[in-house]
Protein backbone atom coordinates (compact mmCIF):
# COMPACT_ATOMS: atom_id res chain seq x y z
CA UNK A 1 0.00 0.00 0.00
CA UNK A 2 2.84 2.36 0.95
CA UNK A 3 4.59 1.51 -2.30
CA UNK A 4 1.49 2.52 -4.31
CA UNK A 5 1.24 5.88 -2.53
CA UNK A 6 4.88 6.65 -3.27
CA UNK A 7 4.35 5.76 -6.94
CA UNK A 8 1.22 8.01 -7.18
CA UNK A 9 3.06 10.96 -5.60
CA UNK A 10 5.93 10.57 -8.05
CA UNK A 11 3.57 10.60 -11.04
CA UNK A 12 1.79 13.76 -9.76
CA UNK A 13 5.14 15.52 -9.31
CA UNK A 14 6.20 14.66 -12.87
CA UNK A 15 2.92 15.98 -14.31
CA UNK A 16 3.21 19.20 -12.30
CA UNK A 17 6.75 19.84 -13.49
CA UNK A 18 5.71 19.03 -17.06
CA UNK A 19 2.82 21.54 -17.02
CA UNK A 20 5.05 24.24 -15.54
CA UNK A 21 7.66 23.56 -18.19
CA UNK A 22 5.05 23.77 -20.97
CA UNK A 23 3.85 27.20 -19.74
CA UNK A 24 7.41 28.50 -19.48
CA UNK A 25 8.16 27.32 -23.01
CA UNK A 26 4.86 28.68 -24.36
CA UNK A 27 4.17 32.06 -22.71
CA UNK A 28 1.30 32.77 -25.14
CA UNK A 29 -0.63 29.80 -23.80
CA UNK A 30 -0.09 31.00 -20.25
CA UNK A 31 -1.27 34.49 -21.19
CA UNK A 32 -4.43 33.11 -22.88
CA UNK A 33 -5.20 31.07 -19.78
CA UNK A 34 -4.89 34.18 -17.63
CA UNK A 35 -7.24 36.14 -19.92
CA UNK A 36 -9.80 33.36 -19.93
CA UNK A 37 -9.85 33.14 -16.15
CA UNK A 38 -10.10 36.90 -15.69
CA UNK A 39 -13.63 37.94 -14.75
CA UNK A 40 -15.29 40.05 -17.46
CA UNK A 41 -16.93 43.29 -16.28
CA UNK A 42 -20.69 43.63 -16.58
CA UNK A 43 -20.99 46.46 -19.16
CA UNK A 44 -24.40 47.95 -19.85
CA UNK A 45 -24.51 50.17 -22.93
CA UNK A 46 -27.25 51.74 -25.02
CA UNK A 47 -26.58 49.10 -27.66
CA UNK A 48 -27.19 46.10 -25.42
CA UNK A 49 -29.65 47.45 -22.85
CA UNK A 50 -32.09 49.69 -24.77
CA UNK A 51 -34.82 48.96 -27.30
CA UNK A 52 -33.32 51.35 -29.86
CA UNK A 53 -34.90 50.03 -33.08
CA UNK A 54 -37.78 52.17 -34.36
CA UNK A 55 -38.76 55.58 -35.76
CA UNK A 56 -37.63 58.90 -34.28
CA UNK A 57 -39.02 62.34 -35.10
CA UNK A 58 -38.03 65.90 -34.23
CA UNK A 59 -37.71 69.42 -35.61
CA UNK A 60 -34.10 70.57 -35.70
CA UNK A 61 -32.98 74.21 -35.85
CA UNK A 62 -32.44 75.71 -39.30
CA UNK A 63 -30.36 78.78 -40.21
CA UNK A 64 -32.56 79.92 -43.08
CA UNK A 65 -35.92 78.19 -42.59
CA UNK A 66 -38.53 77.56 -39.89
CA UNK A 67 -37.04 74.23 -38.91
CA UNK A 68 -35.90 70.87 -40.27
CA UNK A 69 -38.48 68.19 -39.60
CA UNK A 70 -36.45 64.99 -39.35
CA UNK A 71 -37.82 61.45 -39.41
CA UNK A 72 -35.24 58.71 -38.88
CA UNK A 73 -35.96 54.99 -38.82
CA UNK A 74 -33.37 52.57 -37.44
CA UNK A 75 -33.83 49.02 -38.71
CA UNK A 76 -32.62 45.85 -37.05
CA UNK A 77 -30.37 44.98 -40.02
CA UNK A 78 -28.33 48.16 -39.31
CA UNK A 79 -29.89 50.08 -42.20
CA UNK A 80 -31.66 53.41 -41.82
CA UNK A 81 -34.21 55.52 -43.68
CA UNK A 82 -34.39 59.29 -43.21
CA UNK A 83 -36.73 62.04 -44.40
CA UNK A 84 -35.72 65.67 -43.88
CA UNK A 85 -38.17 68.47 -44.61
CA UNK A 86 -36.99 72.08 -44.65
CA UNK A 87 -40.18 73.70 -43.46
CA UNK A 88 -41.33 76.77 -45.36
CA UNK A 89 -39.15 76.00 -48.40
CA UNK A 90 -40.36 74.89 -51.79
CA UNK A 91 -39.05 71.46 -52.82
CA UNK A 92 -37.47 71.14 -49.40
CA UNK A 93 -38.13 67.42 -48.77
CA UNK A 94 -35.26 64.92 -49.10
CA UNK A 95 -35.13 61.14 -48.63
CA UNK A 96 -31.98 59.19 -47.83
CA UNK A 97 -31.09 55.61 -47.02
CA UNK A 98 -27.95 53.94 -45.83
CA UNK A 99 -26.38 52.08 -42.95
CA UNK A 100 -25.37 52.98 -39.44
CA UNK A 101 -22.86 51.51 -37.04
CA UNK A 102 -22.29 51.60 -33.30
CA UNK A 103 -19.16 53.24 -31.99
CA UNK A 104 -16.90 51.22 -29.70
CA UNK A 105 -18.43 52.61 -26.52
CA UNK A 106 -21.88 51.25 -27.47
CA UNK A 107 -23.49 54.65 -26.74
CA UNK A 108 -23.38 56.47 -30.09
CA UNK A 109 -24.29 55.60 -33.66
CA UNK A 110 -22.78 56.95 -36.88
CA UNK A 111 -24.81 57.27 -40.09
CA UNK A 112 -23.27 56.59 -43.48
CA UNK A 113 -24.55 59.90 -44.88
CA UNK A 114 -22.24 62.51 -46.40
CA UNK A 115 -22.23 64.50 -43.15
CA UNK A 116 -21.34 61.44 -41.05
CA UNK A 117 -24.12 62.39 -38.64
CA UNK A 118 -23.74 61.09 -35.10
CA UNK A 119 -26.41 60.49 -32.49
CA UNK A 120 -26.17 59.61 -28.81
CA UNK A 121 -28.75 56.89 -28.14
CA UNK A 122 -30.85 57.40 -25.01
CA UNK A 123 -34.06 56.01 -23.57
CA UNK A 124 -36.61 56.53 -26.39
CA UNK A 125 -34.59 59.36 -27.94
CA UNK A 126 -31.67 60.21 -30.21
CA UNK A 127 -29.52 63.24 -29.41
CA UNK A 128 -27.72 64.70 -32.42
CA UNK A 129 -24.04 65.40 -31.70
CA UNK A 130 -21.79 68.10 -33.12
CA UNK A 131 -18.92 67.49 -35.56
CA UNK A 132 -16.61 66.64 -32.67
CA UNK A 133 -19.02 64.06 -31.28
CA UNK A 134 -20.12 66.18 -28.32
CA UNK A 135 -23.64 66.87 -27.05
CA UNK A 136 -24.85 70.29 -28.20
CA UNK A 137 -25.48 72.69 -25.31
CA UNK A 138 -27.17 76.06 -24.94
CA UNK A 139 -30.72 77.35 -25.29
CA UNK A 140 -31.40 75.25 -28.41
CA UNK A 141 -30.06 71.99 -26.96
CA UNK A 142 -33.53 70.42 -26.60
CA UNK A 143 -34.22 71.05 -30.29
CA UNK A 144 -31.50 68.56 -31.31
CA UNK A 145 -33.43 65.63 -29.81
CA UNK A 146 -35.45 63.15 -31.88
CA UNK A 147 -38.19 61.38 -29.92
CA UNK A 148 -39.09 57.74 -30.52
CA UNK A 149 -42.60 57.25 -31.83
CA UNK A 150 -44.98 54.75 -30.25
CA UNK A 151 -46.38 53.02 -33.32
CA UNK A 152 -48.68 50.89 -31.17
CA UNK A 153 -50.34 53.88 -29.51
CA UNK A 154 -53.68 54.57 -31.15
CA UNK A 155 -54.52 57.25 -28.58
CA UNK A 156 -51.70 59.63 -29.49
CA UNK A 157 -52.21 63.24 -28.45
CA UNK A 158 -53.14 65.60 -31.29
CA UNK A 159 -52.41 69.31 -31.44
CA UNK A 160 -56.04 70.25 -32.07
CA UNK A 161 -59.02 69.51 -29.81
CA UNK A 162 -56.74 69.01 -26.81
CA UNK A 163 -56.64 71.10 -23.65
CA UNK A 164 -53.05 72.26 -23.12
CA UNK A 165 -52.14 73.34 -19.58
CA UNK A 166 -49.40 75.98 -19.23
CA UNK A 167 -46.40 74.57 -17.30
CA UNK A 168 -43.54 76.88 -18.30
CA UNK A 169 -43.55 80.51 -19.46
CA UNK A 170 -40.45 82.33 -20.75
CA UNK A 171 -38.27 79.69 -19.11
CA UNK A 172 -40.00 79.86 -15.71
CA UNK A 173 -41.95 76.96 -14.20
CA UNK A 174 -45.68 77.66 -13.74
CA UNK A 175 -47.53 75.86 -10.91
CA UNK A 176 -50.94 76.19 -9.28
CA UNK A 177 -52.31 78.11 -12.22
CA UNK A 178 -55.38 77.61 -14.39
CA UNK A 179 -53.84 79.01 -17.60
CA UNK A 180 -54.43 76.85 -20.65
CA UNK A 181 -54.98 77.01 -24.41
CA UNK A 182 -56.94 74.86 -26.87
CA UNK A 183 -57.16 74.79 -30.66
CA UNK A 184 -60.52 73.63 -31.95
CA UNK A 185 -60.98 72.13 -35.41
CA UNK A 186 -64.45 73.68 -35.45
CA UNK A 187 -64.03 77.01 -37.27
CA UNK A 188 -60.30 76.95 -36.44
CA UNK A 189 -61.05 78.58 -33.10
CA UNK A 190 -58.42 79.14 -30.40
CA UNK A 191 -59.50 79.78 -26.83
CA UNK A 192 -58.27 79.46 -23.26
CA UNK A 193 -57.49 81.23 -20.03
CA UNK A 194 -54.46 83.47 -19.49
CA UNK A 195 -54.53 82.85 -15.68
CA UNK A 196 -57.21 85.49 -14.97
CA UNK A 197 -59.14 86.37 -18.13
CA UNK A 198 -60.51 84.15 -20.86
CA UNK A 199 -59.39 84.73 -24.44
CA UNK A 200 -60.47 83.54 -27.89
CA UNK A 201 -59.69 84.06 -31.55
CA UNK A 202 -58.83 82.10 -34.68
CA UNK A 203 -55.72 80.27 -35.87
CA UNK A 204 -54.17 79.05 -39.11
CA UNK A 205 -51.62 76.24 -39.46
CA UNK A 206 -49.25 75.75 -42.40
CA UNK A 207 -46.60 73.08 -43.00
CA UNK A 208 -47.60 71.32 -39.74
CA UNK A 209 -45.52 73.91 -37.88
CA UNK A 210 -46.21 77.54 -38.71
CA UNK A 211 -49.09 79.12 -36.84
CA UNK A 212 -50.83 82.46 -37.05
CA UNK A 213 -53.25 83.73 -34.40
CA UNK A 214 -55.73 86.47 -35.27
CA UNK A 215 -58.89 88.24 -34.07
CA UNK A 216 -57.75 87.72 -30.47
CA UNK A 217 -59.99 89.12 -27.71
CA UNK A 218 -60.01 88.82 -23.91
CA UNK A 219 -62.36 89.51 -21.05
CA UNK A 220 -61.49 92.50 -18.84
CA UNK A 221 -61.61 91.12 -15.29
CA UNK A 222 -59.02 92.37 -12.76
CA UNK A 223 -57.04 89.96 -10.57
CA UNK A 224 -54.53 90.51 -7.72
CA UNK A 225 -51.56 89.23 -9.77
CA UNK A 226 -51.63 89.84 -13.54
CA UNK A 227 -47.92 89.14 -14.24
CA UNK A 228 -48.42 85.65 -15.73
CA UNK A 229 -51.37 86.83 -17.81
CA UNK A 230 -49.42 89.78 -19.19
CA UNK A 231 -46.56 87.51 -20.34
CA UNK A 232 -48.92 84.84 -21.67
CA UNK A 233 -50.81 87.34 -23.86
CA UNK A 234 -47.51 88.74 -25.11
CA UNK A 235 -46.48 85.20 -26.15
CA UNK A 236 -49.71 84.83 -28.13
CA UNK A 237 -48.78 87.99 -30.03
CA UNK A 238 -45.24 86.77 -30.83
CA UNK A 239 -45.69 83.06 -31.57
CA UNK A 240 -45.17 81.95 -35.18
CA UNK A 241 -44.57 78.19 -34.87
CA UNK A 242 -45.43 75.24 -32.65
CA UNK A 243 -43.89 71.87 -31.86
CA UNK A 244 -45.46 68.70 -30.50
CA UNK A 245 -43.65 65.85 -28.73
CA UNK A 246 -45.93 63.28 -27.13
CA UNK A 247 -47.94 65.03 -24.42
CA UNK A 248 -45.89 68.23 -24.58
CA UNK A 249 -46.59 71.20 -26.84
CA UNK A 250 -44.53 74.38 -27.18
CA UNK A 251 -45.24 77.79 -28.68
CA UNK A 252 -42.15 79.27 -30.31
CA UNK A 253 -40.80 82.33 -32.10
CA UNK A 254 -38.52 81.55 -35.05
CA UNK A 255 -35.52 79.51 -33.81
CA UNK A 256 -35.55 80.93 -30.29
CA UNK A 257 -35.99 78.87 -27.14
CA UNK A 258 -39.66 77.96 -26.50
CA UNK A 259 -41.77 80.90 -25.33
CA UNK A 260 -44.28 78.67 -23.54
CA UNK A 261 -44.50 74.95 -22.74
CA UNK A 262 -47.76 73.06 -22.23
CA UNK A 263 -48.81 69.58 -21.19
CA UNK A 264 -51.93 67.77 -22.38
CA UNK A 265 -54.69 67.53 -19.82
CA UNK A 266 -56.10 64.00 -19.54
Per the structure, the count of domains in the chain is 2
CATH code assigned at 252: 2.40.128.270
Residue 97's domain comprises: 46-148
- Residue 22 in any domain: the answer is no
- Model's pTM, two decimal places? 0.48
CA dihedral 214, 184, 250, 211 (to 10 degrees): -40
Could you tell me if 135 and 169 lie in one domain? Answer: no
**Per-residue pLDDT tens over the stretch 79-127:** 998 888 888 787 788 888 899 999 999 999 999 998 899 999 998 999 9
Burial 205-222, CB ≥16 within 10 A → b, else e? eebebebebeeeebeeee
Could you tell me if 186 and 251 lie in one domain? Answer: yes
- Residue 8 in any domain: the answer is no
Which of 125, 148, 171 is the C-terminal boundary of a domain? 148
What is the Cα 158 distance to its own chain's centre? 19
- Residue 157 in any domain: the answer is no
**Per-residue pLDDT tens over the stretch 226-248:** 999 999 999 999 999 998 877 88
Mean pLDDT, the chain, rounded, equals 82
The confidence score (pLDDT) of residue 25 equals 53
- Residue 153 in any domain: the answer is no
- Residue 234 in any domain: the answer is yes
Burial of 179 (0-12, 13-18, 19+ CB in 10 A): buried
CATH code assigned at 65: 2.40.128.640
Estimate the crossing angle of helix 2-25 against helix 27-37, to 10 degrees. 100
Which of 92, 120, 148 is the C-terminal boundary of a domain? 148
- Residue 114 in any domain: the answer is yes
Could you tell me if 171 and 235 lie in one domain? Answer: yes
**Per-residue pLDDT tens over the stretch 170-221:** 989 998 789 999 999 888 999 999 999 999 999 998 876 789 999 999 999 9
Q: What percent of the chain has pLDDT over 70?
A: 80
- Residue 6 in any domain: the answer is no
Per DSSP, 61 falls in state: -
**Per-residue pLDDT tens over the stretch 16-44:** 544 444 445 555 544 545 444 444 445 67
Could you tell me if 141 and 169 lie in one domain? Answer: no
Could you tell me if 180 and 139 lie in one domain? Answer: no
Look at 16-20, 50-54, 68-72 and tell me which has the smallest mean pLDDT: 16-20
Amino acid sequence: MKKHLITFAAIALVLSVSCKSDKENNPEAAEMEAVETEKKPDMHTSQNSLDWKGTYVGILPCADCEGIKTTLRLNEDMSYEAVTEYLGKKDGVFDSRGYYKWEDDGQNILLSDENETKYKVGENKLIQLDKSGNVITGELADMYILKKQDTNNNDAITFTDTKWKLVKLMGQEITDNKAFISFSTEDNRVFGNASCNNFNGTFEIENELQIKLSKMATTMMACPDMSIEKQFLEVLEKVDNVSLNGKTMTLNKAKMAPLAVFEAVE
